[in-house]
Amino acid sequence: MCQLLGMNCNTPTDICFSFSGFRIRGGGSDMHKDGWGIAFFEGKGCRSFIDVQQAADSPIADMVREYPIRSTNVISHIRKATQGRVALENTHPFQRELWGRHWVFAHNGDLQHFKPQLVGPYQPVGDTDSERAFCFLLHHLRHEFASAPTPERMFPVLRELTARIAAHGEFNFLLSNGDFLFAHRASKLSYIVRKAPFATAHLKDEDLSIDFSEVAGSDDCVAVVATQPLTDNEVWTDFEDRTLNLFVDGQLAMSGSTANPARN
């Protein structure tokens, strides 16, 4: 299974510490060697770095770890190919424009027999179930809303679309437009919110610590979401299975079941 990492903050923050541990899962401490990627939002702008080399020894990952890009929303992914060969066009995160904003998406899981008829402007470039799911989401969101809705208005629609896709298999995903972060847990996804009083965190995958009280501002609020907790001395919270979660300004703002969205 692939690995997801997301960050949503109330102030631009660099992800170097979390990424240091996360990248090791790409061919180092874990067996996910089929490429990796990371997308950073800076205002409305977005830049992503993707590579088919394993993250543990990619020169691009070296650069990302050393170059503190400060961002309010980040999505990263380490791939273990299930559907679609190892190729750049199959490497997450995927990116498309909708309502004049960039949207970024990464998926962990495996969708069986998910081959929707995709007419309209969002067509997959590669051949993964994940990119098909992303195109399906954008197609229906665009159909539902002529212009950008608030995340609160978008929530029930996305929850219902998620439930439809999740009927095909494991569908953990992260989705962001740079203003907020949606995180869906099918069966694996945890999070932590760091805010004052800040403490020292220690990575699980390598012997590296950071004292956030020395680097964070007193009003900073940073949510980190990952397939598995990244640190071993902090309390991470598991989302409930089959829930869609919305993070705004570093805090969990909404949460709702996708097991039976009509009832929630």
Q: Where along the sequence are the contacts to a copy of itself (CB under 8 A)?
A: 42-51, 59-60, 62-63, 66-67, 87-91, 95-97, 99-102, 120-126, 142
Candidates 177, 143, 176, 148; CA nearest to 160 is 143
Active site residues: 2
Token code pair at residue 109: 């899981």
CB 81 within 8 A of CB 32: no
- Report strand pairing: 70-78 vs 3-14: antiparallel
Question: For the purposes of burial, counting CB atoms within 10 Å of the CB of 116, is it exposed (0-12), middle (13-18) or buried (19 or more)?
Answer: middle
At its nearest, how many Å lie between a copy of itself and the CB of residue 256? 28
What share of residues in the chain are helix, strand, coil (percent, to 5)? 25, 35, 40
CB of 201 vs a copy of itself, minimal distance in Å: 25
Q: Which residues pair with 26 in a beta bridge?
A: 31
- The CA distances from residue 5 to 67, 92, 156, 229, in Å, are 18, 12, 24, 10
Least distance in angstroms from the C-beta of 117 to a copy of itself? 14
User: CB of 104: closest distance to a copy of itself in angstroms?
Assistant: 12
